[in-house]
């Protein structure tokens, strides 16, 4: 269906090619997963399939890309629109219309389909993706998961044979992600669509993939193979695969189901062995850094939080989980005084956060918002660091030194908007940490982060907690929560439905349990690292 | 007619509303009779009340009403300050000054007479009525539906306007979010500096989004067009050139000394028409189609026809020299109610019934709060 | 290689802009430039309505001639986004004393992205903001044409860099936004035929007499709006001109207008 023949791509002004001598054959009706670090050329590969690279971006493509027999050199993206549907990373930025139904029809209008065909396909697509109730809704009012499904529907109406998606689940909660993936799987199985998608969250998608393409970056050759072949020695792998490798299971399981079948002996081995308890190390002042008491927050007549009571103390890493729109961001915003309470009490550092003014606030609490770019106003990284030192009234150079610790590769002269998503997050984190606030809040920090960056973030968070910071982290990423959190709070429709030590909360939840827990249940293990420590401890002890 | 009372609720084609409203405005421009003008305003208000959708743009009628009042007040004030008073009924004797001759001897102030105030009021009322008719169209016709029915030749222009309209509320939300986020850095969140400081990142973000949007549009087939033969292209270009030259000659002939009306106006109209033919022919190359276009059916004909008829009734009344269109202010006379324009106004009020009722408001309009939560 | 002009003008578009501008100048300026014995003066009451029909049609022809030359998705999207920025800014002044911050965007947009784009930006942004605020009316085509001229002119300014460029743009912004007010005033003026003679348009009077009347009319009615508008534009360009220009140029680099993709066959 798609064939890359000796493809190398160089962007205008660049001296080295992004992709070198790529050879790929993707057969019809497969679900292909493209993995690789940020900046490895993954997105370039995806965008080359419909000719956006180089027709849209400029640059040089050597070699040949054939898509269903059509050469992208002579077919610009618009001529391939009936064949390849592309769903951009941020669906909102690709919407042309303002109403769901109009958006679904836009591509067909461009292709010049007959009105009765358009009408029929819109209805079919609304059904296929479960969007019927949303048909007259403004796109702006949809949740992230709904937007993603509309974006998929908007390209599906053109009946493409190939669907290309860039990180379709990165902004979604586990439930919404499964809806999207189920829809994609239905396309592959029932309609024989070829799906090519890039995704960092392997644990969510690898079990659906027929084929995995690894883009290592730095001019290393692109390799591809069936999912289980590739997972055998891929540098990054989801926990299920890592556990399989650790236990030496063969064939390597990709799904929880397969892994559970193979996991009998491992479970036995671990039985009776106490899973490591996550305790807050050292003597701590247990006075809460922030507390909410019967907190209620509303937007107009919509209740975002109802009667929420909790506290965050020093040394804790608390993961705040729940569906999109469950009130996670609202809780964080209320704790820093961005949002006023409607009833109940919030105390941060012993004060009402709305009353804490100016630079006093940055010394009490730091929040890295969902889009870290919201914090950035300067035109260079160095400028941003200087203004941060000034805001926090700390010694000049403090922020820059922190940034050098967190992200050593970031250069002074870069425009903050040219940084990768992960680098931008770490820059915002450095700015927030400059005033060394005892309480640190992070809203959805792992969105769009690749595995190495996520590992680095987890390490940073543990060190901060060990240093006495209290951390509250709103996240959809169950694996991250399992890895770092000492406590988990689950919100649903603005109410706390669970609040307790990580293991207790996540083990019982089908939605928030990490893969290792699902495989090893009823044993209480959360991460591969814990299991590895237990096993190797056995071997040496 | 009775059948049309049972029509399925739907949106009337916005162009029909505009034709109706402009017809009403054209009628207003032909008269200074305050009774007729007030009747025109009442007709507009009646139809707006009956068929106004519950949308932000639906509220613009009130704005135009207030604007109309302001126009009348300003017009009367100008008369008081600059108007050389005429008439005999002095309401308020005031001293006047005549400015020096280098200001062309403008006379300021002077006695305020009932006659001159009345004249100013009539004049202001006429302008206000025209404005209110336009306001009625703004209130009744959905802007996004108007954009859906732009002719094929202006499709790209329409797309960019749609993008602008979709993007505007997003920008407002973004600026607000970034402004409040300044708090997280210990910076002020109110005042000019805060808005200016948050405007720049939002502006840059918006510019970047435009590139993503363009890529998405390209991938979805924007700008696909069939090839127009070279010969046809040349013909179209030649037509366009011809039309442009004719339009320029026509426009110039309109302002040149002593030129007959018979040259300027027809030439201008001919030139513009040729241009329009040329761009319409060029647009044929596009392969686009429309999804669920607004139909043009009986109700559209009735509404637009009502507009045309009211304009014609006033115009023919003026042409037939039927008295009562103009109300003399010196000496003040009680305004008459001529029958022909009155009949026209009765017809102009029919859209209150003949336009189909609006579809039930969807949940969409009631979800503003969710937009806020989602953001 | 790419150039920074988001919308390249071909001979067709240039001819169309020129012809439309000529018709536009007449449509705006006829009360002051028409010979007292000309036919337009003889029908002075109908003339504004005639031009209110002709000008939008001519604008439609210009816009169509742009897109027929292949206005790509990047230009359309950027046009839409900048028009959205204008639509956000326009109500900010609330109509008070002409404090419309939109001229900064039009001037700098035209400067950074070329005269053709500037023209389109002026027209599109005034149109979409009018749709959003319910300000559509016979005045709209004239506002669109006036704003389009402002954007076009900004794109045609001579080369300059650094401080000199900002000063140049500020000066242009002052003149352009002031002139815009005068033009719109001129359009409106013939409707005031019943005003006191000292300030009203008198068909058939000498051009000089009408010019004086118009100046007085302007002083009385709109100067209070035009001067603050020009001052605000200058101030904003001097303060924010450099970063906005920088951002516009950055996106124009990033968007790579008119890219020239190369394909190399590997044997």
Condensed to tens digits (0 to 9), the pLDDT of residues C208-236 reads 888 888 888 888 777 877 888 899 899 99
Cα–Cα distance measured from residue A352 to residue A343, given in angstroms and rounded to the nearest whole number: 13
Instruction: Please give the tally of structural domains in chain B.
Output: 3
Judge contact between A40 and A217, C-beta under 8 A: yes
Chain A: residue whose CA lies nearest to B183: A358
How would you classify the pairing of strands A162-166 and A194-198?
A: parallel
Which helix H or strand E contains A8, and what residues bound it? strand A2-10
Which helix H or strand E contains A87, and what residues bound it? strand A84-87
Indicate whether C127 pLDDT > 80. yes
- Chain C residues with CB inside 8 Å of A60's CB? 261-264
B296 Cβ contact list (under 8 Å, min separation 6): B13, B15, B16
Q: Which of A109, A171, A195, A94 is nearest to A139 (CA)?
A: A94
Chains that touch A (3 or more CB pairs under 8 A): B, C
- Alpha helices in A263-341, H assignment, sequence order: 264-270, 328-335
A22 or B6: which carries more pLDDT confidence?
Answer: A22
Judge contact between B360 and B8, C-beta under 8 A: no
Whether A11 is covered by a domain: the verdict is: yes
Indicate whether C198 pLDDT > 80. no
Tens digits of residue pLDDT in A369-410: 988 888 888 889 999 999 999 888 888 988 999 899 888 888
Whether B53 is covered by a domain: the verdict is: yes
- Alpha helices in A305-370, H assignment, sequence order: 328-335, 358-364
Whether A517 is covered by a domain: the verdict is: no
Chain C: residue whose CA lies nearest to B280: C64
Residues A318 and A211 occupy one common structural domain: no
Judge contact between A278 and A315, C-beta under 8 A: no
Work out the pLDDT band at B1, boundaries 50, 70, 90.
very low
The pLDDT score that the predictor gives to residue A278 is: 67
Indicate whether C264 pLDDT > 80. yes
Q: Which of A448, A450, A452, A404 is nearest to A430 (CA)?
A: A404
Indicate whether C262 pLDDT > 90. no
Instruction: Please give the tally of structural domains in chain A.
Output: 2
- Chain A residues with CB inside 8 Å of B209's CB? 93
Judge contact between C149 and C201, C-beta under 8 A: no
CATH of the domain at A216: 3.40.50.300
As a whole number, the mean pLDDT across chain B is: 83
With an 8 Å Cβ cutoff, are B201 and A374 in contact? yes
Indicate whether A222 pLDDT > 80. yes
Judge contact between A283 and A313, C-beta under 8 A: no
Residues A189 and A318 occupy one common structural domain: no
Question: What tokens were used for A43?
Answer: 């997105």
Judge contact between B22 and B138, C-beta under 8 A: no
Question: Residue B322: which domain range?
Answer: 3-142+293-374
Judge contact between C200 and C192, C-beta under 8 A: yes
Cα–Cα distance measured from residue B218 to residue B231, given in angstroms and rounded to the nearest whole number: 28
Question: Residue A378: which domain range?
Answer: 288-509
Tens digits of residue pLDDT in A191-204: 899 999 999 888 88
Mean per-residue pLDDT, A329-335: 91
The pLDDT score that the predictor gives to residue A171 is: 80
Residues A329 and A449 occupy one common structural domain: yes
The pLDDT score that the predictor gives to residue B369 is: 42
What is the ipTM metric for this complex? 0.89
Tens digits of residue pLDDT in A513-530: 999 999 988 888 888 888
Work out the pLDDT band at C96, boundaries 50, 70, 90.
very low
Indicate whether C18 pLDDT > 50. yes
The pLDDT score that the predictor gives to residue B370 is: 45
Nearest residue, CB atoms, C265 vs list A58, A59, A64: A64
Q: What is the 3-state secondary structure (H, E, C) of chain B?
A: CCHHHHCCCCCCCHHHHHHHHHHHHHHHHCCCCHHHHHHHHHHHHHHHHHHCCCCHHHHHHHHHHHHHHHHHHHHHHHHHHHCCCCCCCEEECCCEEECCHHHCCCEEECCEEHHHHHHHHHHHHHHHHHHHHHHHHHHHCCHHHHHHCCCHHHHHHHHHHHHHHHHHHHHHHHHHHHHHHHHHHCCCCCCHHHHHHHHHHHHHHHHHHHHHHHHHHHHCCCCCECCCCHHHHHHHHHHHHHHHHHHHHHHHHHHCCCCCHHHHHHHHHHHHHHHHHHHHHHHCCECCCCCCCCCCCHHHHHHHHHHHHHHHHHHHHHHCCCCCCCCCECCECCCCCCHHHHHHHHHHCCHHHHCCCCCCCCHHHHCHHHHHHHC
Q: Which of C112, C81, C80 is nearest to B203 (CA)?
A: C81
Cα–Cα distance measured from residue C123 to residue C132, given in angstroms and rounded to the nearest whole number: 15
Judge contact between A307 and A296, C-beta under 8 A: yes
With an 8 Å Cβ cutoff, are C26 and B261 in contact? no
What is the Cα gyration radius of chain A?
24
A280 Cβ contact list (under 8 Å, min separation 6): A313, A315, A316, A465, A486
Cα–Cα distance measured from residue B121 to residue B71, given in angstroms and rounded to the nearest whole number: 10
Work out the pLDDT band at A540, boundaries 50, 70, 90.
very low
Burial degree of A529 (CB within 10 A; 0-12, 13-18, 19+): middle
Phi, psi (rounded to 5 degrees) for B257: -65, 130
Residues A221 and A300 occupy one common structural domain: no
In order of A109, A156, C52, the CA distances from A193 in angstroms are: 22, 10, 53
Task: Fill in the DSSP letter of residue A138.
Answer: B
- CA of B46, closest CA in chain C: separation in Å? 19
Judge contact between A425 and A436, C-beta under 8 A: no
Mean per-residue pLDDT, A144-148: 85
Every domain of chain C and the residues it spans: 11-255
Whether B172 is covered by a domain: the verdict is: yes
Cα–Cα distance measured from residue B239 to residue C180, given in angstroms and rounded to the nearest whole number: 32
Cα–Cα distance measured from residue C45 to residue C48, given in angstroms and rounded to the nearest whole number: 7
- Chain C residues with CB inside 8 Å of B206's CB? 81, 84-85
Judge contact between C108 and C237, C-beta under 8 A: yes
Residues A229 and A322 occupy one common structural domain: no
Q: Which of C145, C61, C123, C17 is nearest to B280 (CA)?
A: C61
What is the Cα gyration radius of chain B?
27
Chain C, 2-41: which have a CB under 8 Å from a chain B CB?
A: 12, 15-16, 19-20, 22-23, 26-27, 30, 33-40
Tens digits of residue pLDDT in B317-372: 988 888 888 888 777 888 888 999 999 999 999 999 998 888 765 444 444 444 44
Task: Fill in the DSSP letter of residue A303.
Answer: E
Tens digits of residue pLDDT in A336-370: 988 889 999 998 888 888 888 878 888 889 999 98
Tens digits of residue pLDDT in B57-114: 777 888 889 989 988 998 888 778 776 667 777 777 777 776 665 555 556 667 788 8
Q: Which of C118, C126, C117 is nearest to C144 (CA)?
A: C126
Work out the pLDDT band at A41, boundaries 50, 70, 90.
confident
Chain C, 119-148: which have a CB under 8 Å from a chain A CB?
A: none
The pLDDT score that the predictor gives to residue B374 is: 44
Cα–Cα distance measured from residue A217 to residue A26, given in angstroms and rounded to the nearest whole number: 20
- Chain A residues with CB inside 8 Å of B183's CB? 336-338, 361
- Alpha helices in A448-495, H assignment, sequence order: 451-466, 478-484
Residues A210 and A88 occupy one common structural domain: yes
With an 8 Å Cβ cutoff, are C26 and B167 in contact? no
Whether A283 is covered by a domain: the verdict is: no
* Helices C47-68 & B230-255 angle (0-180, nearest 10): 160
Mean per-residue pLDDT, B119-129: 90
- CA of B57, closest CA in chain C: separation in Å? 6
Work out the pLDDT band at B281, boundaries 50, 70, 90.
confident
Mutate to test the interface with B, among A58, A75, A78 (most CBs of B within 10 A): A78
Residues B178 and B241 occupy one common structural domain: no
In this complex, is the C-beta atom of B360 within 8 Å of any C-beta atom belonging to chain A? Answer: no
Cβ-based neighbour number of residue B195 at 10 Å? 16
The pLDDT score that the predictor gives to residue C25 is: 94
Indicate whether C199 pLDDT > 90. no
Indicate whether C71 pLDDT > 80. no
Q: Which of B257, B103, B271 is nearest to C33 (CA)?
A: B257
- Chain B residues with CB inside 8 Å of C198's CB? 82, 104, 106-107
Indicate whether A279 pLDDT > 70. no
CA angle C246, C251, C255 (to 5 degrees): 150
B39 Cβ contact list (under 8 Å, min separation 6): B342, B345
How would you classify the pairing of strands C262-264 and A60-67?
A: parallel
Residues B42 and B126 occupy one common structural domain: yes
- Chain A residues with CB inside 8 Å of C246's CB? 379
The pLDDT score that the predictor gives to residue B371 is: 45
Cα–Cα distance measured from residue B148 to residue A62, given in angstroms and rounded to the nearest whole number: 42
Nearest residue, CB atoms, B164 vs list C20, C22, C84: C84
Indicate whether A539 pLDDT > 50. no
Judge contact between A292 and A346, C-beta under 8 A: yes
In this complex, is the C-beta atom of B211 within 8 Å of any C-beta atom belonging to chain A? Answer: no
Judge contact between C111 and C154, C-beta under 8 A: yes
Whether B31 is covered by a domain: the verdict is: yes
In this complex, is the C-beta atom of A132 within 8 Å of any C-beta atom belonging to chain B? Answer: no
Whether A309 is covered by a domain: the verdict is: yes
Cβ-based neighbour number of residue A27 at 10 Å? 12
CA angle C112, C116, C119 (to 5 degrees): 95
Cβ-based neighbour number of residue A183 at 10 Å? 18
- With H, G, I as helix, E, B as strand and everything else as coil, classify residue A2: strand
Residues B71 and B10 occupy one common structural domain: yes
In this complex, is the C-beta atom of A124 within 8 Å of any C-beta atom belonging to chain B? Answer: no
Question: What tokens were used for A211?
Answer: 């084929």
Residues B242 and B340 occupy one common structural domain: no
Cα–Cα distance measured from residue C151 to residue C114, given in angstroms and rounded to the nearest whole number: 9
Residues B90 and B8 occupy one common structural domain: yes
The pLDDT score that the predictor gives to residue C34 is: 85
Judge contact between C89 and B202, C-beta under 8 A: no
Whether A223 is covered by a domain: the verdict is: yes
In this complex, is the C-beta atom of B182 within 8 Å of any C-beta atom belonging to chain C? Answer: no
Cβ-based neighbour number of residue B146 at 10 Å? 20
Residues A112 and A192 occupy one common structural domain: yes
In this complex, is the C-beta atom of C254 within 8 Å of any C-beta atom belonging to chain B? Answer: yes
Tell me the CATH architecture of domain C11-255.
Answer: Orthogonal Bundle (1.10)
Work out the pLDDT band at C173, boundaries 50, 70, 90.
very high
As a whole number, the mean pLDDT across chain C is: 86
The pLDDT score that the predictor gives to residue C176 is: 93
Residues A26 and A88 occupy one common structural domain: yes
CA angle A223, A226, A229 (to 5 degrees): 80
Work out the pLDDT band at C99, boundaries 50, 70, 90.
low
The pLDDT score that the predictor gives to residue B176 is: 86
The pLDDT score that the predictor gives to residue B99 is: 65
The pLDDT score that the predictor gives to residue A3 is: 93
Task: Fill in the DSSP letter of residue A375.
Answer: G
Phi, psi (rounded to 5 degrees) for A435: -85, 10
What is the Cα gyration radius of chain C?
20
Residues A225 and A300 occupy one common structural domain: no
């Amino acid at each position: 269906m798609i064939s890359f023949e000796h493809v190398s791509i160089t962007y205008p002004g660049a001296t080295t090619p992004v992709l070198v001598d790529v050879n790929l054959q993707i057969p019809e009706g497969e679900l292909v997963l493209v993995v690789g670090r940020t900046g490895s050329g993954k997105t370039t590969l995806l965008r080359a399939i419909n000719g956006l690279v180089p027709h849209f971006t400029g640059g040089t493509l050597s070699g040949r890309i054939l898509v269903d027999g059509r050469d992208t050199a002579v077919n610009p993206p618009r001529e391939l629109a009936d064949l390849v549907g592309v769903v951009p990373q941020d669906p909102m930025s690709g919407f042309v219309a303002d109403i769901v139904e109009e958006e679904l029809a836009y591509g067909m209008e461009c292709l010049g389909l007959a009105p009765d065909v358009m009408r029929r396909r819109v209805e079919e697509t609304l059904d296929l993706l479960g969007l019927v109730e949303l048909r007259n809704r403004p796109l702006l009012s949809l949740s992230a998961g709904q937007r993603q499904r509309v974006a998929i529907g908007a390209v599906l109406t053109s009946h493409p044979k190939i669907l290309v998606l860039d990180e379709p689940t990165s902004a979604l909660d586990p439930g919404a992600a499964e809806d999207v993936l189920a829809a994609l799987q239905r396309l592959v199985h029932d309609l024989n669509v070829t799906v090519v998608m890039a995704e960092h969250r392997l644990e969510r998608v690898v079990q659906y993939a027929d084929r995995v393409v690894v883009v290592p970056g730095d001019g290393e050759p692109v390799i591809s193979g069936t999912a289980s072949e590739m997972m055998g020695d891929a540098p990054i792998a989801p926990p299920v695969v890592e556990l399989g490798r650790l236990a030496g299971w063969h064939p390597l399981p990709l799904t929880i189901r397969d892994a559970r079948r193979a996991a009998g002996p491992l479970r036995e081995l671990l039985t009776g062995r106490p899973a490591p308890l996550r305790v807050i190390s050292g003597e701590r002042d247990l006075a809460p850094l922030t507390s909410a008491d019967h907190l209620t927050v509303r937007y107009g007549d919509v209740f975002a939080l109802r009667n929420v009571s909790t506290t965050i103390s020093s040394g804790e890493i608390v993961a705040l989980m729940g569906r999109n729109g469950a009130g996670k961001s609202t809780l964080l915003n209320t704790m820093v005084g961005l949002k006023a309470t409607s009833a109940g009490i919030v105390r941060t550092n012993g004060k009402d956060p709305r009353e804490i003014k100016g630079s006093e606030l940055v010394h009490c609490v730091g929040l890295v918002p969902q889009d870290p770019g919201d914090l950035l106003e300067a035109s260079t990284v160095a400028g941003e660091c200087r203004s941060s030192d000034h805001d926090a009234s700390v010694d000049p150079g403090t922020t820059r030194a922190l940034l050098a610790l967190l992200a050593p590769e970031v250069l002074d002269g870069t425009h903050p908007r040219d940084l990768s998503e992960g680098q931008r997050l770490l820059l915002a984190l450095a700015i927030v940490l400059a005033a060394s606030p005892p309480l640190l809040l992070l809203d959805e920090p792992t969105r769009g982060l690749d595995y190495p960056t996520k590992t680095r973030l987890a390490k940073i968070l543990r060190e901060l907690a060990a240093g006495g910071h209290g951390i509250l982290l709103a996240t959809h990423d169950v694996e991250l929560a399992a890895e770092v959190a000492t406590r988990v709070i689950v919100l649903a429709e603005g109410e706390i439905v669970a609040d307790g030590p990580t293991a207790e909360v996540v083990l019982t939840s089908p939605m928030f349990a990490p893969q290792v827990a699902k495989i090893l249940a009823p044993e209480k293990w959360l991460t591969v690292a814990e299991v590895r420590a237990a096993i190797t401890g056995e071997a040496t002890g | 007619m009775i059948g049309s009372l049972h029509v399925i609720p739907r949106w009337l084609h916005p162009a029909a509303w505009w034709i109706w409203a402009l017809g009403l405005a054209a009628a207003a421009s032909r008269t200074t009779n305050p009774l007729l003008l007030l009747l025109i305003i009442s007709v507009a208000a009646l139809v707006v009340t009956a068929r106004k959708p519950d949308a932000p743009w639906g509220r613009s009628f009130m704005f135009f009403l207030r604007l109309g009042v302001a126009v009348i007040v300003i017009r009367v004030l100008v008369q008081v300050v600059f108007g050389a008073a005429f008439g005999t009924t002095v309401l308020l004797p005031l001293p006047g000054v005549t400015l020096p001759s280098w200001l062309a001897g403008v006379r300021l102030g002077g006695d305020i007479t009932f006659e001159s105030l009345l004249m100013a009021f009539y004049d202001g009322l006429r302008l206000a009525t025209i404005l209110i008719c336009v306001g009625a169209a703004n209130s009744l016709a959905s802007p996004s539906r108007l954009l859906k029915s732009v002719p094929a030749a202006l499709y790209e222009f329409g797309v960019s306007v749609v993008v602008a309209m979709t993007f505007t509320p997003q920008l407002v939300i973004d600026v607000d979010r970034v402004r409040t986020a300044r708090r997280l850095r210990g910076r002020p969140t109110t005042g000019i500096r805060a808005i200016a400081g948050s405007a720049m990142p939002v502006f840059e973000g918006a510019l970047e989004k435009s590139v993503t949007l363009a890529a998405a549009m390209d991938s979805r087939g924007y700008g696909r067009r069939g090839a127009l033969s070279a010969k046809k292209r040349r013909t179209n270009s030649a037509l366009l050139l011809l039309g442009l030259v004719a339009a320029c000659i026509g426009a110039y002939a309109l302002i040149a000394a002593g030129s007959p009306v018979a040259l300027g106006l027809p030439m201008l109209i001919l030139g513009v028409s040729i241009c329009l033919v040329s761009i319409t022919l060029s647009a044929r190359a596009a392969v686009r189609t429309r999804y669920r276009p607004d139909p043009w059916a009986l109700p559209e004909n009735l509404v637009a026809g009502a507009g045309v008829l009211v304009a014609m009734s006033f115009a023919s009344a003026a042409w037939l020299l039927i008295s009562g269109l103009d109300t003399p202010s010196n000496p003040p006379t009680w305004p008459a109610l001529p029958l022909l324009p009155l009949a026209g106004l009765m017809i102009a009020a029919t859209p209150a019934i003949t336009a189909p009722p609006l579809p039930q408001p969807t949940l969409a309009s009631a979800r503003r709060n969710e937009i806020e939560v989602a953001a | 290689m790419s150039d920074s002009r988001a919308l390249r003008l071909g001979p067709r578009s240039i001819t169309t802009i020129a012809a439309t501008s000529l018709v536009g100048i007449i449509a705006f300026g006829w009360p002051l430039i028409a010979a007292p014995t000309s036919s337009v003066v003889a029908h002075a009451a109908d003339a504004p309505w005639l031009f209110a029909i002709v000008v939008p049609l001519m604008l439609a022809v210009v816009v169509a001639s742009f897109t027929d030359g292949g206005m790509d998705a990047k230009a359309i999207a950027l046009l839409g986004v900048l028009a959205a920025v204008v639509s956000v800014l326009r109500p900010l002044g609330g109509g008070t004393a002409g404090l419309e911050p939109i001229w900064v965007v039009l001037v700098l947009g035209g400067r950074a992205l070329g005269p053709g784009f500037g023209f389109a930006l002026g027209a599109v942004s005034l149109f979409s903001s009018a749709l959003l605020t319910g300000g559509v009316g016979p005045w709209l085509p004239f506002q669109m044409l006036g704003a389009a001229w402002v954007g076009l002119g900004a794109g045609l300014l001579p080369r300059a860099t650094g401080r000199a460029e900002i000063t140049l743009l500020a000066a242009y912004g002052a003149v352009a936004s002031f002139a815009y007010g005068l033009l719109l005033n001129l359009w409106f003026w013939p409707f005031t035929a019943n005003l006191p003679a000292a300030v009203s348009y008198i068909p058939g009077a000498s051009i000089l007499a009408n010019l004086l009347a118009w100046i007085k009319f302007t002083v009385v009615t709109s100067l209070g709006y035009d001067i603050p508008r020009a001052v605000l534009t200058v101030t904003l360009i001097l303060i924010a001109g450099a970063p906005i220009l920088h951002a516009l140029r950055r996106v124009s680099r990033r968007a790579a207008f008119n890219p020239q993709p190369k394909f190399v066959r590997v044997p």
